Amino acid sequence: MKTNNAALMRDLYNLILNPATRDWERHLLVQVKDNPQQLSPTGQLKQLEADLRPLATRDNLTPDVMDFYLALTGNGSVVPKSDYSDTPQIDASHEERAVFAGGCFWCMVEPFDQRPGIIAVTSGYTGGSWAQPTYEQVSGQYTGHVEAVEIRYDARKTSYRELVKLYWQLIDPTDQFGQINDRGNQYRPVIFYANPSQMAIATASKQAVIDSKRYKQPIVVAIEPLYHFWPAENYHQDFYRKQPQRYRRMKKAHDHYLKWLAFKNKL
């Protein structure tokens, strides 16, 4: 349980001012802020933890409030806030990036993150018209954005072609309305290209999948230009490390579906 009152007050103010915080969450946070003398494990802080717990257990708090709740409860699976300022830097002439959308970004990070040559994998939003979108706005399909991952990699150790090849193995390319259990336009599969070379590789890879005739339904993965990638809230970064048990359950269901899809297309 956090007991540093100065840090708590700073976090409370940041969450209250955060436009992504829901009104009812903000109301609870303001109550605590207005009663600083009760910021103790047995006072107002304990009540706040109890008020947030029902939705926290269902993963239905806004991301930054969830981060606060996990720190508040001392959850052992919590890792420090992701700080991409200390991401390893390499010679800029060898660093490139790829951006893919393939359903919930929680399941898209780990497969890329474990490959040689990967510098960082960031969950975020792209493809829409709104600046600095929040998770709730994207989930509400107000912004036109999709959930995606940005992969920074060392081109001397891996290639864009190899990353695209892996991407096709992670998705159902015949589903334009989402991916597996993730339904909605924000989960549609898209390859975003940053330059003509990436567009040519992505286009050729899509044609190769079509020509393989592995799928009985049309291949609907879009290939679109990349304009701006907005990193998602901290709660969504490195989810497979922060919530390993939940991630393993999701990955198991995801893998089972893709195996079933491959089997069905062979019949």
Catalytic residues: 104
- 64, 20 in Cβ contact below 8 A? yes
Residue type, 114: Q
CA–CA separation, 72 and 3 (whole Å) = 9
Burial of 24 (C-beta count, 10 Å sphere; 0-12/13-18/19+): exposed
- Quick count: other Cβ atoms within 10 Å of Cβ 74? 9
Q: Which two tokens stand for residue 115?
A: 């490959």
- 226, 128 in Cβ contact below 8 A? no
Q: Which two tokens stand for residue 60?
A: 């239905």
